Structure 1
Amino acid sequence: MSGPQCCENPPVLSSNCGQGCVQEVGGLKTYVTGSSHSKRAILLISDIYGYEAPNLRKLADKVAAAGFYVVVPDFFYGDPYAPDNAEKPIEIWIKEHGPDKGFEDAKPVIATLKSKGITTTGVGGVCSGGKVAVELAKSDYIQCAVLLHPSFVTVDDIKEVKVPIAILGAEIDETTPPVLVKQFEQILSFKPEVDAYVKIFPGVAHGWTVRYNDEDEEAMKAAEEAHQNMLDWFTKYVK
């Protein structure tokens, strides 16, 4: 089950944030940013707080500025996790919006991108979105994946990965602790056909890449380093 860390530092959601706009892609409301003429797409998959989180949209805009067409679908159908909703605690919410459903919903999104002329697609998954990303990485739907402090990802998942994958973990993470990230790294080392990059960021906690405080210089620096690592991976494999 998703630990308390997944629920910490909830963002203030806003439908108006970001440089892009909301369109329907693959039947889902989707934050879209970047040039629609690009043949390279990035699918960003949110954590439990959904696609209206300002820092996630800032990240999408940053990736778009590097020349990618970026889509951030609302896999939660307007029902992101709300910590103050006592009637729907995290355990119940996860049952309704599990990563398995996200994986199925991602397929028509990717198909729509291809129909628009996209030739290569990478996926970045944050927290619970990392589980959706790794499911896609087991298939031929995408060209590469990046997992940012993922939740729910197992050793068995990593064994089935088919595409180049980067895993960015946190030193202070009860959900996917460093010892588990190291196991992922070991498994990938025995899969020479799959290029992999595994990194554990010191002194940061689960969620640091999108739930940082803008006024905390060290937190921003760590988040930006992870963002650059992700962008480097996309630049390498989404051509």
Structure 2
Amino acid sequence: MSGPQCCENPPTLSSSCGAGHVEELGGFKSYVTGSPDSKLAILLVSDIFGYEAPNLRKLADKVGAAGFYVVVPDFLYGDPYVLDNAERPFPVWIKDHGADKGFEEAKQVISALKSKGVSKIGAAGFCWGAKVVVELAKCDYIQAAVMLHPSFVTLDDIHGVKVPISVLGAEIDQISPPELLKQFDEALNVKPEVDGFVKIFPGVAHGWSMRYKDEDEAAVKCAEEAHRDMLDWFVKYLK
């Protein structure tokens, strides 16, 4: 294995896929889709492979079709992780792309959305993006949060969450193993003021909701179940 589990199965990136378009928002190139007139926005924060991942854009389109204005910012500045790059292995690459920096940048995008008249914002983060989202959820910048196969998220992070949060994890995950997710669940259960939901998907590995192959029917089915769970959470708390 060339890097940690989050680096496996990289997608083939494409700037031309999806029903939406790329525009600048809050100082960042962003893939936007859905109704620009909606007062309900969803921020999708990518994994280490960035905002051009076709499956991420397809999911953004799906969320947009449900009545949300969806924004997928390029918090990696056109520098997604490249597998097998000997000059910039993962430990080197990640130093240039800390989730703490992503959190500060997400606040700029949220400010831009509010200036457009958006009244409620949900955020979902995938792998690397989950750490960005949990930081937002600790500070009331958003009204609902979803983390899918999170990386770098700690139990202390969960203790600090202030908004409804859904955690969708994998049974086969060295980064956020089921044992950790069960601790997340226990921590949320003793926070009656915050609605929390934790689900461990059986038989799938870290990254399953994004890095599936279209021809793999079982993988697509599992990914779509996670996508439905994510969308249901946003409908419940934003609409």
TM-score (norm 1): 0.98
What residue is the counterpart of 1:132 in the other structure?
132
- Aligned partners of 2:64, 2:25: CA distance in 1, in Å? 17
Aligned partner of 1:109 in structure 2 is 109
Bigger drift between 97-106 and 79-88 goes to 79-88
The match for 2:66 is 66
Identify the residue that residue 47 of structure 2 maps to in structure 1: 47
Say which SS state the counterpart of residue 70 (structure 2) adopts: strand
- 1:194 corresponds to which residue? 194
Shift of 1:85: 2.1
Could you tell me which runs of 5 or more consecutive residues in structure 1 were left unpaired when the two chains were aligned: none
- Secondary structure of 2:44's counterpart equals strand
State how far apart, in whole Å, the 1-side matches of 2:8 and 2:168 are: 19
Deviations 1:17-53 (A, max 9, x none): 1110000000000000000010000000000000000
Mapped pair 1:204 → 2:214: no
Q: Which amino acid aligns with 1:38?
A: S
Question: CA shift at 1:221, angstroms?
Answer: 0.5
Question: How far is 1:169 from its partner?
Answer: 0.4
Q: TM-score, normalised by structure 2?
A: 0.98
Aligned: 1:222 with 2:213? no
Q: Percent identity over the alignment?
A: 72
CA positional deviation for 1:10: 0.3
Report SS of the residue matched to 1:146.
Answer: strand
> RMSD value over aligned CA atoms?
0.7
* Unmatched segments (≥5 aa) in structure 2: none
Aligned residue in 2 for 1:35? 35
Runs of 4+ that moved beyond 3 A: none
Counterpart amino acid of 1:47? D
Secondary structure of residue in 1 paired with 2:146: strand
**Count of aligned residue pairs for this structure pair:** 237
